[in-house]
Amino acid sequence: MVNFLIVSFLLFFIGLWGVVVTRKNLIVILLSLEMILLSINLNFIVFSVFLDDLMGQLFSLFILTVAAAESAVGLAILVVYYRLKGVISIDFISLIKG
């Protein structure tokens, strides 16, 4: 149980770390977000088994769906952005600079 939690914790922070430090590529950020979501899914499933409650697995299914939709939207935005700007490097995405 604890090992599972440690794995999901590590996955979560690796994902978070990926989001924070990535400066090259939007795709990497999307991947990292997927990783965060998956780590949380893992958490849900572990607790679902541990507590013998089906609700957790149900939630993980929902999250998978939402994650799929989110990555689809993210990729769509990415494609459009690439068409417009010609780059997908994070360093150049600063349109909302104050």
Partner 1 sequence: MYLLALFLPLLGFLVVGGFGFAFGVFGASFISLGCVFLSLVFSLVAFYEVGLNHSVCSVKLGSWFSLGSGNIEWGFLFDTLTVTMMVVVTSISFLVHLYSLNYMSSDPHLVRFLSYLSLFTFFMLMLVTADNYLQLFFGWEGVGLASYLLINFWHTRIQANKAAIKAMLVNRVGDFGLLLAIVLIYYYFKSLDFAVVFSVAPFVKDFSLVLYDFEFNIITFIGIFLFIAAVGKSAQLGLHTWLPDAMEGPTPVSALIHAATMVTAGIFLILRSSPLIEYSSAVLMLLTIIGGLTAFFAATTALTQFDLKKVIAYSTCSQLGYMMFACGLSNYFTSLFHLVNHAFFKALLFLSAGSIIHALSDEQDMRRMGGLVKILPFTYAVMVIGSLALAGFPFLAGFYSKDLVLEVAFATYSLDGLFVYWLGTLSAFFTAFYSTRLIYLAFYSKTNSSKTIMSGAHDAPLEFYIPLTLLSIASIFIGFFLKDMMAGFGTGFWQASFFILPEHYVYAEAEFLSTFLKLVPVIFSLSGMVFAFVLYKTFLFSRKFYYIFLKNKLFRDLYFFSSKKWYFDVVYNQYILKPYMFFGYHITFKIFDRGIFEILGPTGIVRIFKDLAGGVSRFQTGLIYHYIFIMVVSFSLFVFVFIFLRGFNFVIPDVVYVALGVIIFFSAPFLARVRNFFRISEFNK
Residues that bind partner 1 (CB under 8 A): 16, 19-23, 29, 90-98
**Cβ proximity to partner 1, 57 vs 88, nearer residue:** 88
**Cβ proximity to partner 1, 61 vs 93, nearer residue:** 93
**Cβ proximity to partner 1, 29 vs 67, nearer residue:** 29
Q: How far is CA 59 from the centre of its chain?
A: 16
Dihedral pair phi/psi, residue 62, rounded to 5°: -55, -45
In the complex, what is the shortest distance from the CB of residue 16 to partner 1, in angstroms, rounded to a whole number? 6
Q: How far is CA 93 from the centre of its chain?
A: 19
> DSSP letters of 25-40?
-HHHHHHHHHHHHHHH
